[in-house]
Chains A and B, each alone.
Chain A
């Protein structure tokens, strides 16, 4: 049996999106870890600004790969190959004039496993601004507090900012990582399964935090949890075997999916 999973953006989405500003756009993006096998195949996606967009799909379909292309984290892996274009705010991020550090400052990232640095809570949040040239202490103080407030962590840590970040609980550590990303005042925040290693209560808190970021930042989140995608995202992309199958506003994708494959996946018939 041959399944044609080649996707195209549905007419309905086009209408929805017509009202949105597009901040990330890929054009015929092909990505290879090894020359003989593409991890992303002809991906064309337009991610709207200041909205939460979720990537779903079976394991190994390339969600993380696509996400990590947006801040060029994949550049760390030797021998990769990228074809096509990725435009962020209209600028091709592979253009030689783009400074990698500036791109990553603009496009923050939160990883699946929380990765606080072995430093104090304060130092963790101030890390980004510091490496990007901010040295004024009062400015830093301000940024740290604002970021922790936005990440919903300030109340819990305001009296122990000099404690080691490693003494925080798993959920707090992940929110610290969100605060750390926010401290750079990014336009976009990429999150790769940010709650998959956490208990339900911590997961709930992270979701609340994401909810508060809506409207202020563009959030792109990879998740395995379809309920989570349905809860937090405005738009959802369904991927399979390196291809973008369907991309639509979350409501439509979960209630009236365009593609049979999408329906099969969200109803749990495979995956």
Chain B
């Protein structure tokens, strides 16, 4: 008996069991993580039915069912009471103050789904729930059946959207028109800045500029007024289009259509309608701009910022890492010094990322950026031009952070190049550099790309170092756009990882933002996977090219 017990352990069966359990646990965790993020992240876009609840005390609410909860409590006598609660998102933040309400299930008398219940997604103040009472378009007031009014309101919304575009164009026209005037004013203020005393030359200059300003303003006056006129008219027309919405408790509310993103009646929609709507909302999320301090709308700027940051980081880190690895392996004499360098590089990978952030702030932003400001933009100081957080510094910081990964992976790639091939190249009279370029680099390419993949995986998910080197909650402009010089590497940018943190923990309306956290997390995962797939695809193509190069 004792013997077989010993046998049991010697054969290693328990360890097989143990290791398989470990694997199972790991796998289960991955699946669970993905499942939670998928369900929660994708569920939010589905248009839920709107429920009208009536309570015993005659209070009514209209909103989306959100969650329920069961509380079991025991009093001193030992009687168990179960209280059920349900949560609804009732929106109308401007009226109620809160988006959500908890109701005791026992208090609810009825739960209905009125056909004409309408959900309005607004640019501000979140959703509004209610029914359309009247549609005002200019002088016309429509008060008809719900279906007709819904249709009319939809048409009116399209019209408003067109007019809003027009308005935007007019405004750019105006800015362009006034830009010479503004530059004169900037020059004047530049002379006046921080000064109580002017030299004669400056006085003369100032007088000239001020005269010039008056002349220019006069010249532009008629055109200026014409555009302003059109702006005013369009604004007026936009403002004349609005709905009267009745909230569930009977109050009537004016709703400017210019403040509405979209509206729909979920209780009337069938599965196909809902699916179409779902797709549209997913698209809006991926391609749209954020609203309401990021808790609503899309995350496109964050996606863009993340991708661009990762690409910039790769552009910086790969050449540097590869050069370092080549020098370390091919040129440096192997000895205690190279061993020490290798050790430090490997250990750099373990330095907490926030430390890199601090380094990025201290070195890139203050020292490098600050010096550039002193040299080239000293007229704008103390206002920093480039010596402040921006996508360039953030990418450089992350490049530094991922450098060890690239160096190590490249070194492995270089070591995998058969010595026979290197000797063969040298024996044919190639110089060392020719040998490196023609034999070592192409053969080490899969290793280099492995390094890139690891760098992307690490870099795309980092948040902490970015927070102090250039990520912002809301960037006014993208780091790449149509205005010269197209790449604005000094600009601050948005990032999905930071977006998750910001929306989930920094927003004033955490409850409403929760789903957004999951969907953004999902998006970040998808993005990292996509970027990795791209690199893996490249690597496999190269591998095929150099297959079985070992003889």
| Cα-based distance from A250 to B442 in the complex (angstroms) | 45
Q: How far is the CA of A103 from the CA of B427 in the complex (A)?
A: 9
Q: For the complex, what is the distance from the CA of A39 to the CA of B192, rounded to whole Å?
A: 85
CB-based nearest B residue for A112: B420
Is A117 within 8 A of B439, CB to CB?
yes
Cβ-based interface call for A29 (8 A): no
Contacts of A184 in B (CB 8 A): 428-429
Which of B430, B549, B551 meets A101, CB within 8 Å? B430
Surface stretch bound by B, among A15-23, A126-134, A204-212, A225-233: A126-134
Complex interface: chain A residues within 8 A of B334 (CB): 78
Chain A residues in 8 Å Cβ range of B426 = 73, 76, 104
Contacts of A181 in B (CB 8 A): 427-428
Known A-B contacts A115-B420, A115-B551; the reply to A131 vs B333 at CB < 8 A is: no
* Complex CA–CA separation, A113 to B424 (angstroms): 11
A residues in contact with B438, CB < 8 Å = 117, 127, 131
- Cβ contact within 8 Å between B430 and A131: yes
In A89-112, the 8 Å CB interface with B consists of: 101-105, 108-109, 111
The reply to whether B443 and A132 form a contact with Cβ atoms under 8 Å apart is no
The residue that B424 contacts in the complex, of A78, A111, A166, with Cβ under 8 A, is A111
By the criterion CB–CB under 8 Å, are B420 and A111 in contact?
yes
Most chain B CB within a 10 A radius of its CB, from A71, A118, A166, A181: A118
Which residues on the A side are within 8 Å of B443 (C-beta)? Answer: 118
CB proximity of B35 to chain A, nearest CB, Å: 43
Cα A108 to Cα B548 in complex, Å, equals 25
Note all chain B residues with C-beta closer than 8 A to A111.
Answer: 420, 423-424, 427
CA distance A127 to B424 in the complex (A): 10
Which of B418, B429, B439 counts the most A-chain CB atoms under 10 A from its CB?
B429
Tell me whether A53 is interfacial, beta carbon within 8 Å.
no
Contacts of B413-468 to chain A: CB distance below 8 A: 418, 420-421, 423-431, 434, 438-439, 442-443
Question: B327: CB under 8 A from chain A?
Answer: no
Instruction: State whether the Cβ of A177 lies closer than 8 Å to any Cβ in chain B.
Output: yes
Pick the contact of B428: A76, A78, A102, A104 (CB < 8 A): A104
B420 CB → nearest A CB, Å: 4
B546, CB-defined interface residue at 8 Å: yes
Known: A78-B333, A127-B425. A115 touches B430 (CB 8 A): no
Q: Mark A173-193, 1 if CB is under 8 A from B, else 0.
A: 000010011001000000000
Tell me the B270-284 residues at the A interface (CB within 8 Å): none
Cα separation A78 to B545 with both chains bound (whole Å): 33
- In the complex, the answer to whether A131 meets B424 with C-beta atoms within 8 Å is no
Assembled-state Cα–Cα distance A131/B545 (Å):
22
Chain B residue contacts of A117, Cβ below 8 A: 421, 424-425, 438-439
Q: How many residues does chain A have at the interface if contact means C-beta atoms less than 8 Å apart?
A: 27
Is A262's CB within 8 Å of the partner chain B?
no
- Is B84 close to A, CB under 8 A? no
* Cβ contacts under 8 Å, A78 to chain B: 333-334
B423 adjacent to A166 (CB under 8 Å): no
CB pair B428–A127 under 8 Å, yes or no, is yes
Asked if B547 is an interface residue, CB under 8 A from chain A, the answer is yes
- Give the CA-CA distance A109 to B551 in the complex, in Å: 18
Asked if B434 and A131 sit within 8 Å, CB to CB, the answer is yes
Minimal beta-carbon separation of B329 from chain A (angstroms): 14
Contact between chains at A108 and B551 (CB < 8 Å):
no
Given A101-B430, A113-B420, A131-B430, verify A118-B425 contact (CB < 8 Å): no
Q: Chain B residues near A180: list those with CB within 8 A.
A: 424, 428
Contact A108 B428 (CB under 8 A): yes
| CA–CA, A166 and B548, complex, Å | 7
Query: Are A109 and B439 in touch, CB under 8 angstroms?
Result: no
Per the bound structure, the CA–CA distance linking A114 and B423 in Å amounts to 11
User: Do A166 and B428 have beta carbons less than 8 Å apart?
Assistant: no
Residue contact B547 to A177, C-beta cutoff 8 Å: no
Interchain nearest-CB distance for B313 vs A (Å): 30
Q: Which residues of chain B from 325 to 382 have a CB within 8 Å of any chain A CB?
A: 333-334
- Closest B residue to A103 by beta carbon equals B429
Residues of A within 8 A of B (CB): 71, 73, 76, 78, 101-105, 108-109, 111, 113-115, 117-118, 127-128, 131-132, 164, 166, 177, 180-181, 184
Q: Which residues of B contact A (CB under 8 A)?
A: 333-334, 418, 420-421, 423-431, 434, 438-439, 442-443, 545-549, 551
**Can you offer 16 A-B residue contacts whose CB atoms are under 8 A?**
A71-B427, A78-B333, A78-B334, A101-B430, A104-B429, A105-B428, A111-B423, A113-B551, A115-B424, A115-B551, A117-B439, A118-B547, A131-B425, A132-B429, A177-B424, A181-B427
